[in-house]
């Protein structure tokens, strides 16, 4: 039987995958039309007349995919740093509830599962663009942009996790206590 966390991770990984794959497909077609590059869409994928045309469309398509990934990561990191239920301000909470936007407040489990998924896609894209750049199927700058997005997002996620751990240590509770001792002599 699968654990609840694994099922949640798989469930939440579907939407980002669909977004990234559809971005890739749509951007390939739109870029080919924009650059007036003839192409054919077959069961094997996009077919271009020349290697230079393929490299141009492929590079900018991967760059657009990286931009979509960066926007998604930015939205996630904004929610992690501003709307995290453990360190959101009471004033902001009241404002969100009055605007009926309480769904913006996220728990640690929701944030960190989404974070793991988006960061995983960022590093997967970094590996993919690195391999494509190594074999000259895309321009090298696309790899560097994707790598930068992945590293910056990782640093910001780790910063939020450190803030979470720091705030839980500063709450005045002894987190090493596993049970509650009751003094029965006074009862």
* Domain residue limits, the chain: 4-168
| Chain centroid offset of residue 88 CA | 21
Per-residue DSSP letters for the chain? ---HHHHHHHHHHHHHHHHHHHHHHHHHHHHHHHTT--EEEETTEEEESSHHHHHHHHHHHHHHHHHHHHHHHHHHHHHHHHSBTTT--HHHHHHHHHTT-GGG-B-HHHHHHHHHHHHHHHHHHHHHHHHHHHTTSS-HHHHHHHHHHHHHHHHHHHHHHHHHHHHHHTTS--TT--S----GGG-
In this predicted model, what pLDDT tens digit does every residue of 46-99 receive, in sequence order? Answer: 899 899 999 999 999 999 999 999 999 998 888 887 877 777 778 888 888 888
Residue range 32-53, pLDDT digits in tens: 999 999 999 888 888 998 999 9
Q: What is the predicted pLDDT for the residue at 18?
A: 93
Whole-prediction pTM value? 0.81
Which residues, 6+ apart, have CB-to-CB distance to 137 below 8 Å? 54, 55, 58
- Residues 105, 83: Cα–Cα separation, whole Å: 5
Distance CA(63)–CA(83), nearest Å, equals 29
The percentage of residues in the chain with a pLDDT greater than 70, rounded to a whole number, is 88
């Amino acid at each position: 039987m699968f654990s609840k966390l694994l099922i949640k991770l798989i469930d939440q990984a579907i939407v980002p995958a669909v977004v990234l794959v559809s971005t890739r497909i749509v951007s390939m077609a739109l870029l080919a039309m924009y650059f007036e590059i003839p192409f054919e869409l077959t069961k094997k994928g996009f077919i271009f007349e020349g290697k230079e045309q393929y490299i141009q469309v492929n590079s900018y398509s991967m760059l657009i995919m990286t931009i979509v990934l960066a926007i998604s990561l930015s939205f996630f990191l904004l929610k992690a740093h501003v709307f995290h239920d453990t360190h959101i301000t009471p004033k902001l909470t009241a404002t969100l509830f009055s605007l009926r936007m309480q769904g913006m407040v996220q728990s640690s489990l929701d944030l960190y599962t989404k974070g793991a998924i988006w960061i995983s896609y960022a590093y997967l894209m970094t590996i993919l663009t690195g391999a494509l750049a190594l074999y000259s199927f895309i321009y090298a700058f696309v790899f560097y942009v994707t790598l930068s997005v992945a590293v910056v997002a990782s640093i910001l996620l780790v910063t939020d996790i450190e803030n979470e751990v720091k705030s839980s240590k500063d709450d005045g509770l002894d987190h090493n206590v596993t049970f509650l001792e009751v003094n029965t002599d006074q009862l």
